[in-house]
Structure 1
Amino acid sequence: MTKTIRPLLAGNWKMNGTRASLDQIKAIGDGVKTPLSDKIDTLLCPPATLLYVATALCDDSPLAIGAQDCHQQVSGPHTGDISAEMIADCFGTHVIVGHSERRRNHAESDMLVRAKAHAAHEAGLTAIICLGETAYEHNSGQTLDVLKRELASSVPDDSTAESTVIAYEPVWAIGSGLIPTRENIEEAHGFIRSELVERFGNGGAGMRILYGGSVSGANARDLLDIPNVNGLLVGGQSLKAVDFLAIYAAFERQFA
C-alpha cells in the first residue's frame, strides 16, 4: 500500500439489507470510532432504501455512506432510477459506478459508466469507478488490454484524486473465493497507476486504487502489502459488522 495516499475501506452491500440490518450499519459506524479513523477513510454503500436512514445513524461516526449506482441525468422520466443529486440530498458522499454486475446484468457500456461518473462529480460526490476482466479475458492474457480500454473510456476527463477512486475487481474473483496471485494484483495495480499518471499527472499519482474480489479479514493484510493497493472494496464481508471490522483492523499494521 502506498502510504502517502490515504487508504479507503469501502463496503458494497449490493441487493442486501432491510431495516432489520440497520443494527449492523450502526455497529460498523461505532466500530470505526478508533484512532485508526484519523489515518484511513471508511465507507459503506447500502441499498438505496436505507441510504437516508444510514446517514442519520452514522452522523456522529467517521463512517461515510454512499450509493451503489446513479443515473447519468439530473432528473427526468427514468422510472426506478436515482440521480447523483438525490444521493447527495440524502447526505451520501460516494457512489459506485461501473460495477461488473451492472456492466453485465444491465449491459452498461464504458461510455455510460463515464457519464455516470461525470454526473457524480457534478453533484459533488466521489465516484468509485470499477474495472476488471472476466475469467476468459484473464485466461487469454487480455487483462491489461481490458484495463487500458476501461480506464480510457470509463474515467471522465475532469477526474481528480479528490473526486475519483478506481476499483480493480477481477470479475472472476468477485464472490468466488478465488484471489489472483500477488503478482497478478501488483501488475494490474501498477498498470492502472501508470495509465492514470500518464493521463492525469500528479492527479493520477494521488488517485486511490482499491482492490476488490473475495476480500476477507484473513487476506486483507496481505492485499494491503501490495504496492499501489490503496484500500479495499468489500462485498459479502461488509454485511456483518464483525467481518467488516476485522478487515478494518487489518489496516492497523500499515501504520505500526
Structure 2
Amino acid sequence: MRRKIVVGNWKMNNTIAESVELATAIAEKVGGDGVTCEVGIAPTFPALHEVGKVIEWSGIRLCAQNCHYENDGAFTGEVSTRMLAAAGCSYVIVGHSERRQYFGETSQIVNRKVQKALAEGLSVIMCVGETLDERERGVTDEVVATQVVEGLADVTDLTNLVIAYEPVWAIGTGKTATSQQAQDVHAMIRAKVAELYGQQAADHLRIQYGGSVKPSNAVELFGMPDIDGGLIGGASLKVDDFMGIVEAAG
C-alpha cells in the first residue's frame, strides 16, 4: 500500500517571519495524532533554515523548490543540492512547470537535477504535465510520457523519487482536471514506469496530482487508484485549506 504524500509548494510567497508563522501553525496540527500521510512544505530558500527548526519535531518534511545540478561554482543565484541537504532538506521539487515555462528548463536539465539530487541523498519530486494547447490537441499522453522518459534517463533506482503530474493549464487558474482525467494520466505514467523499470517499481512509485487541489475536491482526487496525494500551491498558504487536503489524504 503506497503511503499518500501531500507537499505544500509555497512558491515565491512569505517573508521568513511569515513562513515561520505558517509552518508553526501547520506543525501544530500535523504533529498531533490522526495524520497518517507524509506531509512536506517547501518555503523559499531564505526561509528554509528557520522553517526547518520549527517543524523538526512534527515529522513534516522540509522541501526545497528547486536546485542546481552542480555542487558549486560560478552560478549566480543558484543553490546546490549539498547546500539544501546541509540546510536540512529531505526533498527537492524538480522540473515544476513554472521552471520550464519561465526559466527555460528542458527535460534534459531536469534530468541532470534529478540525478544530482538523488546522488546527494535527497528525495526528489519530479514534475511533469501538459499545456492547454497540448491537451486540446490530444497529445497529453505523448507529452507527459516523453517528460517521464527524459527526466528519468540513466536513473536506476526510484526508491527516493516521487512524480507529480501537474497539468499546466490547471496550475493557479482555479481550473482542475476532473478526477477521471487526472486518474487516466496517472495510470499512463505508472504504465510507462512499469515499461521502463518493471511492474514492482511502478507499483511502489508514488504519483501526486497538482493543479488547483482544494479541500472540496481532494477526497475525490485522492480516492482514485493511481493518485497518491498532492503537490499543493495556493491552498498550502492557508492553514485550514492545507490541513483539509492533508486530512483528505489520511
- TM-score range (shorter-chain normalised) is over 0.9
Which position in structure 1 is the counterpart of 2:17?
20
Query: Partner amino acid for 2:205?
Result: M
The count of corresponding residues between Structure 1 and Structure 2 is 248
Q: Is the 8 A contact 1:161 1:208 kept in 2?
A: no
Which position in structure 2 is the counterpart of 1:204?
202
Unmatched 5+ residue regions in structure 2? none
Which position in structure 2 is the counterpart of 1:222?
220
2:111 maps to 1:114: yes
2:128 maps to 1:131: yes
> What's the offset of the Cα at 1:29?
1.2
- Per-residue CA deviations over 1:49-105 (Å, capped at 9, x if unaligned) read 100111111111111111000001111110110001100000100000000000010
Query: Partner amino acid for 1:228?
Result: D
When structure 1 is superposed on structure 2, of 8-17 and 155-164 the one drifting more is: 155-164
* Residue in structure 1 matching 2:239, options 213, 223, 241: 241
Q: How do 1:110-189 residues align onto structure 2 when only pairs under 5 Å count?
A: 110-189=107-186
Find the residue that maps to 2:73 and give its secondary structure.
Answer: coil
When structure 1 is superposed on structure 2, of 228-237 and 173-182 the one drifting more is: 173-182
Q: Is the 8 A contact 1:66 1:94 kept in 2?
A: yes
Find the residue that maps to 2:215 and give its secondary structure.
Answer: coil
> What's the offset of the Cα at 1:185?
1.1
Distance 2:92 2:10 in 1: 12
> What's the offset of the Cα at 1:155?
1.7
Distance 2:43 2:238 in 1: 12
- Per-residue CA deviations over 1:115-149 (Å, capped at 9, x if unaligned) read 00111101110110000000000011010000111
When structure 1 is superposed on structure 2, of 192-201 and 108-117 the one drifting more is: 192-201
Root-mean-square deviation (CA, aligned residues, Å) is 1.1
Distance 1:156 1:17 in 2: 35
Distance 2:184 2:152 in 1: 20
Distance 1:128 1:114 in 2: 12
Q: Is the 8 A contact 1:174 1:214 kept in 2?
A: yes
Distance 2:109 2:15 in 1: 29
Unmatched 5+ residue regions in structure 1? none
Distance 2:249 2:93 in 1: 22
Distance 1:58 1:240 in 2: 16
2:54 maps to 1:81: no
> What's the offset of the Cα at 1:204?
2.4
